[in-house]
């Protein structure tokens, strides 16, 4: 059974640029959630995708957007990068949307300069 994978591992971008982060969900999982983890903080929910549709969204602006593909892999896109977007971005997959535990990938470390 393949776990959750994310790419790239690290990324450095300049303020104002756009970035795309990728996530492959664990085999058989149809739900993907994205989180932002700032240094010294717990993960903050960005949004969740269930069967290719956004299923819910946290308190993040519209410049954070996503996609889920038929194979349940997912992308997180961030436009007009700001310095405060520097964080570890975590992807998590699960068998369902509510009571099921989520399985996390290793994360993508984004640095905005």
- Per CB under 8 A, 105 contacts another protein: yes
Q: How many alpha carbons fall within 13 Å on the CB side of residue 8?
A: 8
- Per CB under 8 A, 1 contacts another protein: no
CB of 16 to another protein, least distance (A): 28
Residue 82: how many CB atoms within 10 A of its CB?
12
Which of 18/41 has CB closer to another protein?
Answer: 41
- Enumerate residues 62-81 that contact another protein by CB under 8 A: none
Name which position in 28, 62, 71, 98 contacts another protein (CB under 8 A).
98
- Enumerate residues 20-59 that contact another protein by CB under 8 A: 33, 35, 40-45, 48, 55-56, 58
Which of 89/112 has CB closer to another protein?
Answer: 89
Strands (E), 1-113: 5-7, 10-13, 19-24, 31-37, 44-50, 53-57, 64-68, 74-78, 87-94, 103-104, 108-112
CA–CA separation, 38 vs 22, rounded Å? 19
CB of 100 to another protein, least distance (A): 9
Q: How many alpha carbons fall within 13 Å on the CB side of residue 19?
A: 24
Residues that bind another protein (CB under 8 A): 4, 33, 35, 40-45, 48, 55-56, 58, 90, 92, 97-99, 101-107
């Amino acid at each position: 059974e393949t776990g959750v994978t994310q790419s790239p591992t690290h990324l450095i971008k300049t303020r104002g640029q756009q970035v795309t982060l990728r996530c492959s969900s664990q085999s058989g999982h149809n739900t993907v959630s994205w989180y932002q983890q700032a240094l010294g903080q717990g993960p903050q929910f960005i949004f969740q995708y269930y069967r290719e549709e956004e299923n819910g969204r946290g308190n993040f602006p519209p410049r954070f957007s996503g996609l889920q593909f038929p194979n349940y892999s997912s992308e997180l896109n961030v436009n007009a990068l700001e310095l405060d977007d520097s964080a570890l971005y975590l992807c998590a997959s699960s068998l369902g949307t509510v009571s099921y535990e989520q399985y996390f990938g290793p994360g993508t470390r984004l640095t905005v300069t």
